[in-house]
Amino acid sequence: MSTVLAETKRGDMNDEAPTPASWQDDARRDLLANAGDRLALFTRGEGAYLWDDAGKRYLDFLAGIAVNSLGHAHPAFVEAVSAQAATLAHVSNYFATPPQLALAARLKRLAGTGDSGRVYFSNSGAEANEAAFKLARLHGGADRPRILALTDAFHGRTMGTLALTGKPAMQQPFLPMVPGVEFLDSTVEALEAAMDDSVAALILEPIKGEAGVLPLPDGYLEAARELTSRHGALLILDEIQTGAGRTGEWFAFQHTGITPDAITVAKGIGGGFPIGALITYGAASELFYPGTHGSTFGGNALATAVAGAVLEEIERADLVSNARTRGAQVREGILAIDSPLIAGCRGQGLLLGVALSRPVAKAVVAAAQEHGLIVNAANDETIRIAPALTIGDVEIDEFLTLFTASLATVTDALLLDETSQPDDKEAAQ
């Protein structure tokens, strides 16, 4: 419980003792309401587990929304933060630092850019996508004013990335949007109909995470690569949620064998430290020139050192393969649960969406939290699962036990609600 006294009690002249404010009261008073009420107050983490202010332990199968690749307080992460903070944190982008150069080279190698690849560092995924938006504009110029994106896509909440996000309800309070973006259904036919020589770029997620962990149709990326190449448009892939080994390859596009013109990354590459990047291939690497973009903090020594250590540990421990193997294991376990609420499971590696037969995802998330499990409702009918890449048999067995119990809790509540409702004849009387 917070030690801060309720401000409304401060200075009262009566004999009543001040009432300690809860952390929820503190949050409502001091934080903007954009995220709504926080669900818990976590005070520490270790591996795949979190502890709240009351000492309750939770199995974390969300990992900060696919961010904490190594889990919580991993020694490689802790050592990198401590060592670099004690050496050099920030000097601005007038200068280079060894961790920055090393991370850029590592990302180029993992993404397979070859010598022609380049990296721009940002502080978040949204900022990486802002840079991608500018890349598309630089490529298109006046002759190619159109940028294509997909319905239900999510690319960020800044004004530029919101313009790329195919969710009208999210855009509505902030209209008018940055112009020039058109939204397509996720079909090859829709892409073929929209693509011509006036298109500067096609920007898309290989798996639509915020839409409910929805993979693109089989063959879509290959068709997108062929069509964009034919018409001289850039193919830009948002790998912010799918990158850093989460899908069982370093980047989701590598399941297909295509080569994009650019990808954006963030989340898992920093393992909990804020960092993002735009990685370019071939001719797209020559589009930015001095003065066209920048960031004071982007790519500073502290962020790049930590991200370099995280990616090094993912490589050393072969966690990309672990994501592939454990993802299949989790999926198999979910589909084996005897629950009327489970309608399927989709995704790749350790980015999975559990399809529900009823729109009760928020109730399942709440029940899971009561049982000591952290998952997320991507939408009303999908539970998103994105644990640390380090999970093994122990964590998976515990997850399946807790998730089964959570589904049973919601099923029981639904049955109770249905039996408590009067039938049509009774209601008519």
pLDDT at residue 416 in the model: 82
Is 368 in the same domain as 390? yes
Contacts 24+ apart (CB under 8 A), 326-335: 326/350, 326/391, 326/392, 326/396, 327/247, 327/248, 327/351, 327/352, 329/396, 330/385, 330/396, 330/399, 330/400, 333/396, 333/399, 333/400, 334/400, 334/403
CATH assignment at residue 177: 3.40.640.10
How many CA within 13 A on the CB side of residue 181?
A: 26
CA separation (Å) from 372 to 227, 250, 332, 402? 47, 30, 22, 7
The answer to whether the beta carbons of residues 345 and 21 sit under 8 Å apart is no
Q: What is the mean pLDDT of the chain?
A: 93
Q: Is the pLDDT at 221 greater than 80, yes or no? A: yes
Residue at which a domain ends, from 269, 293, 316: 316
CATH number at residue 324: 3.90.1150.10
**DSSP SS3 for 322:** helix
Does one domain contain both 379 and 296? Answer: no
Q: Are residues 183 and 40 in the same domain?
A: no
Please report how many Cα atoms fall inside a 13 Å half-sphere around the Cα of residue 368, on the Cβ side.
26
pLDDT for the residue numbered 194 = 98
Same domain, 111 and 134: yes
Number of domains in the chain: 2
In a domain, 421, yes or no: no
Mean pLDDT of 198-213: 97
Tens of pLDDT along 55-95? 999 999 999 999 999 999 999 999 999 999 999 999 999 99
324 plus 397 within the same structural domain: yes
pLDDT of residue 2: 33
- What are the backbone dihedrals phi and psi of residue 142, each rounded to the nearest 5 degrees, phi first? -75, -25
238 within 8 A of 86, measured Cβ to Cβ: no
What integer pLDDT is reported at residue 10 of this predicted model?
34
pLDDT band at 19 (very low <50, low <70, confident <90, very high): low
Reported pTM: 0.92
Give yes or no: residues 276 and 165 share one domain.
yes
Can the peptide bond before residue 206 be classed as cis, meaning omega within 30 degrees of 0?
no
pLDDT grade for 396, boundaries at 50, 70 and 90: very high
Over 50: is that where the pLDDT of 8 sits? Answer: no
Look at residues 242, 245, 170, 177 and name the one whose alpha carbon lies nearest to residue 204. 242
How do residues 325-378 score in pLDDT, each as one tens digit?
Answer: 999 999 999 999 999 999 999 999 999 999 999 999 999 999 999 999 999 999
Strand order in the sheet with 42-46: 42-46, 49-52, 57-60, 373-374
280 vs 424, higher pLDDT: 280
Instruction: Assess whether 198 and 99 both reside in one domain.
Output: yes
Residue 10 counted as domain residue: no
Residues 183 and 309 in one domain: yes
Query: Is residue 14 assigned to a domain?
Result: no
Specify the pLDDT at position 423: 56
218 domain residue, yes or no: yes
Range of the domain at 138: 76-316
